[in-house]
């Protein structure tokens, strides 16, 4: 690889953190490019040329530009891994895809949305998104009683896609205290060689942690 992979990111974005974490776990040289969302940098023509949806993250891998965090995870696993992070076996691949869909659906509309309220002032119904978060966490906690990682016995991009917003759920007033299996899973992710944390925002329940 001739140059580091450019990651257009915003430090408080869980979607961007997924990719920073994956790049680090794969030990890939990375150049972080800060996108000032508060100043509207993601809506400027030069950024929209990279991602017409105006969202982080985006990577530029020596001229190959990929947007959308789940798409980037698939790309990185396919290009730079030996099949561990995204298995080729049809059943195992389907198990991973299931959790990528969870990350784009129930996670986004539950824990991530609850955090958007407190960290960014989003106008969601707080009770509704917190209830969704707990409904999701109950399912995840039950499934993690059967295996150490979301899609099986080894970590995959399924875990990386869901880690950031679950780890930071307390910032959105979503307690992880009732979910021992989820908390153990978070610790397993954090123990992986190359793990990098997302900066914590001292808000919500995290303010008392």
Reading the block at residue 63, the tokens are: 């001229």
DSSP annotation of 82 reads S
pTM of the predicted protein model? 0.93
The architecture (CATH level 2) of 5-80 comes to 3-Layer(aba) Sandwich (3.40)
Residue 208 pLDDT: 57
Q: CA quadruple 68, 41, 63, 12: dihedral positive or negative?
A: negative
The pLDDT value recorded for residue 2 is: 66
Kindly provide the b/e burial profile for residues 117-133, where b requires at least 16 CB atoms within 10 angstroms of the residue's own CB: bbbeeeeeeeeebbebb
- Parse the chain into domains and list their residue ranges: 5-80, 90-192
Q: What is the pLDDT of residue 202?
A: 78
For the 90-192 domain, the top CATH level (class) is mainly alpha
- Across the 209 residues of the chain, what is the mean pLDDT of every consecutive 10-residue run? 87 94 97 85 84 92 96 98 94 98 95 86 84 97 98 98 96 96 98 95 69
The pLDDT, as a whole number, for residue 136 is 98
Burial of 90 (0-12, 13-18, 19+ CB in 10 A): exposed
Q: What's residue 157's pLDDT?
A: 98
């Amino acid at each position: 690889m001739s140059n580091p992979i450019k990651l257009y990111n915003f430090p408080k974005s869980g979607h961007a953190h997924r990719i920073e974490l994956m790049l680090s776990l794969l030990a890939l040289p990375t150049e972080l490019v800060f996108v000032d969302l508060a100043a509207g940098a993601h809506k400027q023509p030069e950024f929209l040329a990279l991602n017409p949806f105006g969202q982080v993250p985006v990577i530029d891998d020596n001229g190959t530009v990929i947007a959308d965090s789940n798409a980037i995870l698939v790309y990185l696993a396919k290009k730079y891994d030996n099949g561990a992070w995204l298995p080729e076996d049809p059943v195992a691949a389907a198990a991973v895809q299931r959790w990528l869909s969870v990350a784009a659906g129930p996670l986004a509309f539950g824990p991530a949305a609850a955090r958007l309220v407190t960290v960014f002032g989003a106008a969601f119904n707080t009770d509704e998104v917190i209830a969704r978060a707990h409904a999701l966490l109950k399912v995840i906690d039950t499934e993690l009683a059967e295996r150490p990682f979301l899609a099986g016995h080894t970590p995959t991009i399924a875990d990386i896609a869901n880690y950031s917003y679950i780890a930071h759920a307390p910032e959105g007033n979503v307690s992880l205290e009732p979910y021992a299996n989820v908390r153990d899973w978070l610790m397993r992710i954090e123990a992986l060689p190359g793990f990098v944390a997302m900066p914590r925002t001292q808000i919500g329940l995290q303010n008392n942690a």
